[in-house]
Amino acid sequence: MNTDPSVIAKKISYKINDNKLFHDLSFCLNKGKALHICGDNGSGKSTLIRIILGITKQTKGELEISSTKGISYLGHKNAIKNYLSVEDNILLMQLHNHKDLNRYIEILNLKKYLDVLVANLSFGQQKKLALLRIFLNNSDIIILDEPFVGLDNETQKTLSNFLNEQLENNKILIFTSHISCEINSEALNIS
Amino acid sequence: MNLIKLEFLKLKNKTRTWLGPILVFWLIMIAYPLTVEFLKDKLEIGFYSVLWIAILISMMLATEDIFLEDFNDGALEQIMLQTSSYSLLVSLKVFTYWIFIGFPVSVLSFLMSFGTSENLTASLMVFPLSIISSYIFLNLFVMGNALSLNKGSVLGAIVSMPLALPVLIVLGKSMTAIQLGINYPGFIFLLLGCLSIIIVTVPIVVSFIVKAHLE
């Protein structure tokens, strides 16, 4: 049985109230490949990501996703609770027993904020906390919507390096970004 | 079990969410005697009607933001990607809310019933009625709130309220049965029957509604 991840889109279209967002998009991603979805604001990048995630249904076309270890996703919303501490959020993400947790907490400079309420952290620090979900989930498909927004240069570099490492480990990466990054990827322009 | 623990963690830190409805229930029950003359028999006349309505209102308030927060912060999307059974998650969420709000309200119902009637037997009979009815109301309002997820909880309450009316009628009849000493178990079984249907169907319906909202 083939256990390699793959994402295959065949002539995917999406429209809202007769307004076509994109039309007949096709791409094929196999292990170790990355897709950078580019486009202007409102061109449908996030919608395409939601279609790939299975949250939104395309109006036309087929999408085939093969994955054994699931999908890690980080979108515009961080899915963290601002009334809980950083530590409790890690518990909520069910990452508290992960063997690499402490290493990434050090790398992301979150150690001194473990007891701090998320509401008291800056946007960038909250994003770093949300990124733990990406760093520590061993999924074979990673999907990110504007992952570099709000991050300092050092964290952007850490994230780029991590994503390149994941590609070397035969994972699939799909992302949107207006910030230039050093990730070896194919571009898909949907403007 | 893990999901219940995580829901507990969230709810434990959202004091306003669980304490608010309990306090509203308590305030209604405390305010009730002030509106009638302080004669024991007069207090009892309308007490149980006020009790059921207070439970109804507190359960309505309890579900106000049951999905809204997870919807707004993107947690529902993450849950959708991780969990195969969304309806199980809804069931566990409702159960957690009931433990935090429904159960304390039921205990308060028993205590207030005993305090008003000084009749332990009748109050012990009211306790299961409160437990079952609070769980039914909670499920119904969860459905209403899911329907009006991004349109405000008032609309959700309007949608769910007609479904709660038959339960209120059964609760009224149950009290007559307790006072006359006839067929009390029959009413309990009737409510349990309603609950067993609701407990299965509501999470399935709600999971479809929430997925539709995410889409």
How does pLDDT run across A53-80, given as a tens digit for each residue? 888 888 888 988 888 788 889 988 888 9
Q: Which residue of B has its CA nearest to A77?
A: B74
pLDDT for the residue numbered A156: 87
Measured CA to CA in angstroms, residue A161 lies from A126, A154, A165, A167, A184 at distances of 20, 11, 6, 10, 11
Shortest alpha-carbon distance between residue B3 and chain A (Å): 9
Regarding whether A145 and A65 lie in a shared domain, the answer is yes
Nearest residue to B19 via CA among B58, B49, B48? B58
DSSP one-letter code for A117: B
Regarding whether A163 and A85 lie in a shared domain, the answer is no
Regarding whether A52 and A6 lie in a shared domain, the answer is yes
Can you name the residues that pair with A14 across neighbouring β-strands?
A22
Nearest residue to B132 via CA among B182, B98, B162? B98
Regarding whether A129 and A41 lie in a shared domain, the answer is no
Regarding whether A66 and A144 lie in a shared domain, the answer is yes
pLDDT for the residue numbered B1: 64
Helix B103-117, helix B120-147: angle, nearest 10: 140
Number of domains composing chain A: 2
For residue range B7-57, list pLDDT tens digits in order: 888 888 888 889 999 999 999 999 888 887 766 667 777 889 999 999 999
pLDDT for the residue numbered B41: 67
Regarding whether A86 and A127 lie in a shared domain, the answer is yes
Nearest residue to B10 via CA among A37, A24, A89? A89
Contacts of B127 (CB under 8 A, 6+ apart): B106, B107, B109, B110, B113
Average pLDDT over residues B148-169: 84
Helix A153-168, helix A123-136: angle, nearest 10: 10
Q: Report the range out of A24-38, A80-94, A146-160, B79-93 with the highest average pLDDT.
A: A80-94
Q: How far is CA A132 from the centre of its chain?
A: 11
pLDDT at B163 over 70: yes
Regarding whether A51 and A132 lie in a shared domain, the answer is no
CB–CB of B74 and A78 under 8 A? yes
Give pTM, 2 decimals.
0.85
pLDDT for the residue numbered B39: 65
Return the SS3 of B100. helix
Chain B residues inside the 8 Å CB shell of A145: none
Regarding whether A143 and A65 lie in a shared domain, the answer is yes
Question: Which residue, among A92, A96, A118, A146, would best test binding to B if mutated, counting the most B CBs under 10 Å from its CB?
Answer: A92
For residue range B168-201, list pLDDT tens digits in order: 999 999 988 888 888 889 999 999 999 999 999 9
Q: Which residue of B has its CA nearest to A73?
A: B78
Chain A residues inside the 8 Å CB shell of B81: 53, 70-71, 73
CA distance A142 to B26: 49
For residue range B194-206, list pLDDT tens digits in order: 999 999 999 999 9
CA distance A139 to A108: 20
Give the residue from A137, A164, A182 where a domain finishes. Answer: A137
CA distance A135 to B142: 34
CA distance B15 to B13: 6
Q: Which domain holds residue A108?
A: 78-137
Structure tokens at B119: 């009749």
pLDDT for the residue numbered B26: 94
CB–CB of A79 and B6 under 8 A? no
CA distance B73 to A79: 5
CB–CB of A88 and B13 under 8 A? yes
- The single residue listed with the structure tokens 């849950």 is B79
CA distance A165 to A160: 9
CATH number of the structural domain spanning residue A159: 3.40.50.300
Contact B24, B17 (CB under 8 A): no
pLDDT for the residue numbered B58: 94
- Which residue ranges make up each domain of chain B? 2-214
Contact A174, A49 (CB under 8 A): yes
Regarding whether A95 and A41 lie in a shared domain, the answer is no
Regarding whether A89 and A55 lie in a shared domain, the answer is no
For residue range B78-135, list pLDDT tens digits in order: 888 877 688 888 999 999 999 999 999 999 999 999 988 888 998 999 999 999 999 9
Chain B residues inside the 8 Å CB shell of A81: 10, 13, 69, 73, 75
Query: Which stretches of chain B sit within 8 Å of chain A by CB?
Result: 2, 6, 9-10, 13-14, 69, 72-75, 77-78, 80-82, 214-215
Regarding whether A182 and A98 lie in a shared domain, the answer is no
Return the SS3 of A35. strand
pLDDT for the residue numbered A78: 87
